[in-house]
Chain A
Amino acid sequence: MHGQYFQLYFNRLQALKPRAREAARARWPTMPTRAVLELCEDEACVIVGTIYKDMKDKPIILDEYVKGYGEEAEGAAATTREERATYTREDDGLEFEDEGARVKLLGVDAGKFVTGVVCAVKGKAVKGDFLVDDVVAYAPPTTGEAKKSKSEASTATKYVCLVSGFEIGGNDAAASARNQMFVDYVTGASIAYGDESPSDSDAAKICRVIIAGGTMDLKTSSEEPSAATSEALKELDIMLAELASAVPVDVMSGKTDPTNKAMPQQPLHPVYFPEASKYEKTMCLVTNPHDLTVDQTSFLGTSGQNVEDVMKFSTIDADDVSSAFVGAAAAKRPVAALTQTLRWQHIAPGAPDTLACYPFKDRDPFVIERTPRVYFAGCQDAFGYERVSHDPAAGVADTLVVAVPKFSSTGIAVLVDIDTLSCRSIQFL
């Protein structure tokens, strides 16, 4: 039975609160921590809780009733709402809530937050509101794997190939050809790029392919499945079968794939892929978000919905990316947004408020329980990455944050060296 969403928020707060409190203690050792209910006027203190962002332009379902059923039935209202790139406004405000009560936050830039973020803020109560002293502490990253000491045995370089957004279904011969190039490259059927010889090529060092969503392009969720979709599924099936015959492949579900839409997305059903499914050991249909460990290097990623959500509901922009950023300018904003979710220690704080998700009762699966070495989001407009160093005190190894672009529009796949975390793109034109 589907319940309500409050448990999800409650569990999120329970999971992240002790960590945020710890971060606050490290940052402001002498400052008392208060519950919102205990706030006294003018007393400087720290409060820990969940952000709620009050946005005037946030789409609400009640509008449907104002606009009338007719438009809604035709999907007009729904599409106009989807089309907006951002819903932020100057006068968006923040509220802050713990288990007991809610208080308005003043003195912070609301634009940089989204609803659902758990953090600690320092400040004081002024006339019933809470005036923040401009500093905020998030839960510190939790230790993942200890830094791996490179064993002598495995000096060989190994790559994980990150790719997303094949968007098969456009019936476009050029696109199909390009997809085939990618398959040939990975399977070693093609000559390598540049002056590498086939045996020595990077392709041969790919130990796993992760497809971060967007294998299909089901923009319309019409109830009657079309023949075109069936055709596209067949094409995809063959492509996956080829890949799986050479390397292990993780196929994550994405926004435009034929699975459920709410996060976490369930794996694609094997019935779609009668051929590829024959490779039981190497063909992995997985959830979105997906986490896995390849040779002790932990990966965590999504098919991009979380990044899209943060960009829609915050003003986190290209300027927020650190100097460590490498890549196309168009990838700056997604990388900044993704990095921010890492800092928030939550993959998708916007869920469920602005991002549909399952109403979990006993946990919040989106809380980052252990900090990954590679943190990625698929289906982005451009390629870019950033190596994020964590607070040395936490003793957590660096994380590589990667925006994986759509293959269909960029022809780019990403290779990540699982030992050095060095990262580069290869483009198929």
Chain B
Amino acid sequence: MFGVTKEGHSVCAHVHGFEPYFYASVPENFGEADCAAFRRRLNEEVSAARKNAPGVHVVDVSLERKQSLMHYSDVKDRLFAKITMGLPNMVSAARGILEKGFSVPGVRDGAFTTYPTFESNIVYALRFMVDCAVVGGNWIEFPVNSYTVRAKKASHCQIEVDIMYDKLISHPAEGEYSKLAPFRILSVDIECAGRKGHFPDAQLDPVIQIATLVTEQGSDKPIIRAVWTLDTCAPIVGADVLSFKDERELLRNWGNFLRGCDPDLLIGYNIVNFDFPYLLERAEKLGVADFPYWGRLIGTKVRMRDTVFSSKAYGTHESKEISCEGRVQFDMLRAIQRDYKLSSYSLNAVSAHFLGEQKEDVHYSAISELQNGTPETRRRLAVYCLKDAYLPQRLLDKLMYMYNYIEMARVTGVPLNYLLTRGQSIKVMSQLLRKARQRNMLIPHHVKQGGGNVQAEGGVAYEGATVLDAKAGYYEMPIATLDFASLYPSIMMAHNLCYSTLVPKDKVGKLNPDDYGTSPSGDTFVKASKVKGILPEILEELLGARKRAKADLKKATDPLQKAVLDGRQLALKVSANSVYGFTGAMVGQLPCLEISSSTTAYGRTMIDHTKKMVEEKYRTVNGYTGNAEVIYGDTDSVMIKFNTPDLAESMKLGEEAAVYVSETFLKPIKLEFEKVYWPYLLISKKRYAGLLWTNTENYDKMDTKGIETVRRDNCLLVRQVIETVLEKILKQRDVQGAVKYVQSTIADLLMNRLDFSQLVITKGFTKEADSYGVKMAHIELAQRMRQRDPATAPVVGDRIAYVIIKAAKNAKAYEKSEDPIFALDNNLPIDTKHYLDHYLTKPLLRIFEPILHNAQSVLLHGEHTRRIAQPTPTAKAGGIMQFAKIRLSCIGCRAPISDEKMSKSLCKNCLNDESQHLRKALASVNNLEGDFNRLWTQCQRCQGSLHQDVLCTSRDCPIFYRRKKVQKDLTEATAQLRRFDW
């Protein structure tokens, strides 16, 4: 067990005496005497399974009276054998043998018997934590004289002790013990010198820099800022620079530093899948034998393997798993991917989103050049590298990850690293185990079905939540929204839904009808008056704790304390909701469809019930202003139009209705009035937008759901148009303005006046072209780019940016993609029509159709679509232009200039208005000059240096293409201006 003292010293405790065990159900006539025989036989079988390894594998078998968690039963206790094993990894072997069955002399006359096992799939560490009431990130006390300090240390920790497991005291995270320990956090980023045109490969490309920051949890400045560089590097103010001639030395030195600094937490961005594996592979390739010892145990090598993490909530990710004893790896990329839905997860995009700043992005092909330059260029790289190492730390602080994750670990009782590497179910399991233990109950081991089976079963599993039909439209009256507070948890609590209260169908008849309730899905659970379920109890505690945290949050004044409490209440909410998911997860540890389908079934009837009650009561005949109408309802919320234009009245009625309907439900189910949308645009199921009001003075924000504002594969244009349109419709209530805006934007698009970067689409290049079934625009482009220049073409792992250009007639969509830079350089015309038809039309119509009758014709076919502009094609574009001869044309009317001696800029007819044409040309130059200035100075500022050129090639940054385009446009516009003989 590893930890930190209050003073920040690292501790390694060797905890002794805790042996792994599990239970098996045995017949009632199984006697004490049978235990010995049972143990002997099981031991033999285990030995055999372990290739006849001799020795005592099964340490002990004893009898205990306990109860199974599964199903309600009158019989309070049954006979179980507690089987204690010698080593944790023997448990599964023994479990397999028992579940397959074997014969024991004297038991059932030596007949072949299978024994259902209980709690046999619990990870040893969790077992220990449950039994000792230890939770993740809590304080543990070693009483005086209960431990001995080791003189000859086996770890890199500052303090090392031996202790028996029953001596340690675990303190619940309350009062003084709710503080966070002063963890040492090490943030790291590496740079590698890739070869031209290839993503760095650990087998070939050296690690050239490692930047490291060490911070103590709770302090806002790093203790150490250091960078390890290959080859010399000019010094950096405020950071230590360690330069090495030999890459092996660099790695070795960094490894020593890591061990010496002994951090509790390793953080970084994508460290688990890039930085760490790269370092390890590189060290192996170079034969730095003493490098991969990052763990806290002396002499224990870091092991790395591929894993596939799959979870319903988080999706499937392939990743590396790196074992590193005593140090938690906290990859910010993973954490953010889990917790936030963003359009891009590049470090640049993430820091822009959360920290509000763009990050300089040096393309990896530029890195080699910097490395091969001078000490100054390497210094530049080092500064960049340090910045990248600092950003994860800042994100960690900003998003209060330490507080939130430790709260979560404490509440759910799992170790910190489980939160990132495991799904939700382990958290529920941990709580279930703790509760069951208090009640003397055992959790059966759920034998998992084979893969195909599960799918089929999952398909017909149960009906999901109800979604009432959406009455699509644009509502100018306030729409009150009633929400069920923690819907699923409260249903489970109200109806006492639990494993332990579920009555098997054949036993229902034996019960007194007053003692049970039957859910709308036809499953029967005993009432809480008879016996209280464990799940409701867990939920009660979680929600109770959340309530307390929320109350404390209101009282708290200190921002730090607020952060902690907010983190806690959020963690509690998530945990409460995951209990429902746990019972429904077919591949989970203990699925119980009766519970989950009953929960959703109750939910459905409640929504219907609410709708009925509200619509019956709030009618003009009953003295109300208008007839109420439920326009939409989804899972746990109901939207009501009270048919009153008055905001305050809607709020009052909403509150009243919430109380009125709540009374008809079992406690603690409660309908709450939370907000009013006014105005409200309901497009369809799960797609709506509205201004959200919680008071009558000011609206809180604009709330949108399911509308194309954040999708990452859309171009910026779509997002901006949709956002602005919603803003105009909802905030300014200016539908006509919105229509005008759309028309002018479409006109701008067709006239090619839009900011180029708005049209850039980016998609991930995740695997080689061959492995895609169909031809994809961005993959095709990557291949074309490789033919042009293999050195700069994107490789697997990059994000590919492209624009859609006009191509030959009948060209396939995937043939129209082009590299934005290439398109800019060669004046390739943008296929603006394609953008209009494929990207803008649908989302716009979705929004406008409920509002305008003739949306399509007004928006998409009006006068504004008549004028289109195309840049003069160049020879590069192919086609006829290869044979064209270029001649000056009049700037005013585009007629060819016949007499170039008279004027190089205008034809005879336009010459009279020369002054006008000149001013026109000037206006465009001026706009461009202004843009050029603001764009390039911004990049100069962002990179943090005035005297060095801007290298950044961050394609996520909105400026990138624009600054390139403005550079080109300005040069062209200036050239045109020059034709006026200036």
B-contacting residues of A (Cβ < 8 Å)?
A: 1-6, 9-10, 13, 36-39, 50, 52, 60-62, 65, 68-71, 73, 97-103, 115-116, 125, 127-129, 221-225, 229-230, 233, 258-262, 266, 269, 271-272, 352-354, 356-357, 359
Contact = CB atoms under 8 A, between A and B. Distances in A.
B73 interface: no
Interface in B502-545: none
18 contacts: A2-B967, A6-B948, A13-B947, A50-B947, A60-B938, A61-B938, A69-B717, A69-B755, A97-B945, A97-B947, A99-B947, A125-B237, A129-B237, A225-B915, A225-B916, A225-B923, A259-B922, A357-B933
A60 B918 CA distance: 30
Interface in B185-237: 234-237
Interface string B916-952: 1011101111110111111111111100111111100
A352 B238 contact: no
A36 B944 CA distance: 15
A356 B928 CA distance: 11
A229 B922 CA distance: 14
Given A69-B717, A271-B915, 4 more contacts: A2-B970, A9-B940, A102-B944, A269-B918
B971 interface: yes
Contacts of A352: 933, 936-937, 940
Contacts of A61: 931, 934-935, 938, 959
Nearest to A224: B920
Interface of B is mostly: helix
A87 to B, nearest CB: 14
A327 B653 CA distance: 68
B930 A101 contact: no
A6 B949 contact: yes
Q: Which 5 A-B pairs have the closest CB atoms?
A: A128-B238, A70-B724, A356-B933, A69-B720, A9-B946
Interface string B698-729: 00000000000000000011001101100110
B946 A69 contact: no
B790 interface: no
Interface string B891-920: 000000000000000000000001110111
A181 B970 CA distance: 41
Contacts of A125: 237
Contacts of A36: 237
A230 to B, nearest CB: 7
A261 B930 contact: yes
Nearest to A358: B929
A142 to B, nearest CB: 23
Contacts of A222: 923
B379 interface: yes
Give the size range of B's interface with the partner. 35 or more
B167 to A, nearest CB: 45
Interface in B223-281: 234-239
Nearest to B957: A62
A342 to B, nearest CB: 22
Contact of B929 (A13, A128, A223, A260): A260
A6 B935 CA distance: 13
Contact of A2 (B758, B932, B949): B932
Contacts of A229: 919
Contact of B923 (A38, A52, A221): A221
B431 interface: no
B235 A37 contact: yes
Nearest to A127: B238
A229 B913 CA distance: 13
B938 A39 contact: no
B919 A258 contact: yes
Contact of B958 (A62, A71, A98, A354): A62
A260 B926 contact: yes
B946 A269 contact: no
B937 A353 contact: yes
B947 A68 contact: no
B980 interface: yes
Contact of B379 (A101, A127, A271, A357): A101
A101 B386 CA distance: 14
A293 B755 CA distance: 45
A116 B923 CA distance: 28
Contact of A69 (B724, B920, B935): B724
A223 B237 contact: no
B920 A6 contact: no
A68 B727 contact: yes
A326 B745 CA distance: 54
A102 B945 contact: yes
Nearest to B949: A6
B665 interface: no
